[in-house]
Amino acid sequence: MDSAPSKQYSDDVSLVMVLLDTNPFFWGGENTTTKVSFSNFLNHVISFLNSVLLLNQLNQVVIIATGYNSCDYIFDSSTSESLNVSSGNGKMPALCSKMLQKLEEFVIRDEQLSKENSPSGIVSSLLSGSLSLALCYIQKVLRSGRLHPNPRGSPDGPEQYVGVMNAIFSAQRSMVPIDSCIVGVQHSAFLQQASYITGGVYLKPPQLDGLFQYLSTVFATDLHSRSFLQLPKPVGVDFRASSVFGQANPEVKLPTDRKRKAIDLNTAYN
């Protein structure tokens, strides 16, 4: 008996990789920068994911939880464990219940990793690691066609700059757009660059009460629809390069302002 054909992706079929920031220092810390609670945020995200799956029966959603010590896959709509069946109590589908259970287990594991070494100051999420996991999954799908992995944003971590930029350039070479939805007070220079370089959407919703509307009308659009839709674009992009010491150039330049200066190599070291 012939094996079942693998899913083939086109511009009207989407594989949506969701990097879910679970950093407790961002959501529940004293210096929190968002006005929406994590539980309310999850309600919007789950509704958004359901809308993506309803738009096309071939669409797929994968969620990667991003903590401050680790990152991991917590949900894949293509696996047999993610079938949308009743949980038995009539209150919550098994799909949602399973995802929330894995999310809770991930948060507990991530917190246990830092019990011995308590973090101090602003703790950034492991964005470079979750971006790499997402790109590895996408490459596996593009190359093999099979969909079985092995397995908001907190402040940017300058020590992750090289890793994040490597992931961004890998996504650009693979023509994978990176969309960014910012629910905190501050913008993310890393995600601004990621969305601009890869041709994705960067949006900081002004009204978080209508978050689901932004997710379903902007981020749920497939590549084919984006060719004729007018999606939001950032006014400016922060192209500052962070170092491991947290230093950066003072200017914030627009894409049209970027210029290269020629250097005479014969006199540069004289």
Structure tokens at 231: 């999606």
Q: What are phi and psi of 38, to 5 degrees?
A: -65, -35
In a domain, 5, yes or no: no
pLDDT of the residue at 27? 77
Run of H or E including 20: strand 15-21
pLDDT of the residue at 249? 45
CA distance 125 to 139: 23
CA nearest to 191, candidates 237, 223, 231: 237
pLDDT of the residue at 266? 44
In a domain, 260, yes or no: no
In a domain, 2, yes or no: no
For the chain, the domain total comes to 1
Q: Show the low-confidence residues of the chain (pLDDT under 50).
A: 1-6, 84-92, 146-153, 243-270
In a domain, 250, yes or no: no
Structure tokens at 27: 């959501």
Structure tokens at 58: 């071939």
In a domain, 232, yes or no: no
Structure tokens at 203: 């949006």
Q: Which CATH number covers residue 39?
A: 3.40.50.410
In a domain, 241, yes or no: no
Q: For residue 137, give the amino acid letter.
A: Y
pLDDT per residue as tens digits for the range 8-29: 556 678 899 999 988 887 777 6
Helix residue ranges per DSSP H, the chain = 24-27, 38-55, 94-112, 127-144, 161-173, 189-198, 211-214, 223-226
Q: For residue 94, give the amino acid letter.
A: A
pLDDT of the residue at 136? 92
What is the number of other CB atoms lying within 10 angstroms of the CB of residue 67?
Answer: 25
CA distance 177 to 220: 13
Q: Domain span at residue 112?
A: 15-227
Look up the pTM and report it: 0.56
pLDDT of the residue at 179? 92
Q: Are 141 and 15 in contact (CB under 8 A)?
A: yes
Q: For residue 96, give the amino acid letter.
A: C
In a domain, 56, yes or no: yes
In a domain, 121, yes or no: yes
pLDDT per residue as tens digits for the range 144-191: 754 444 334 466 777 788 888 899 999 999 998 999 988 877 888 888
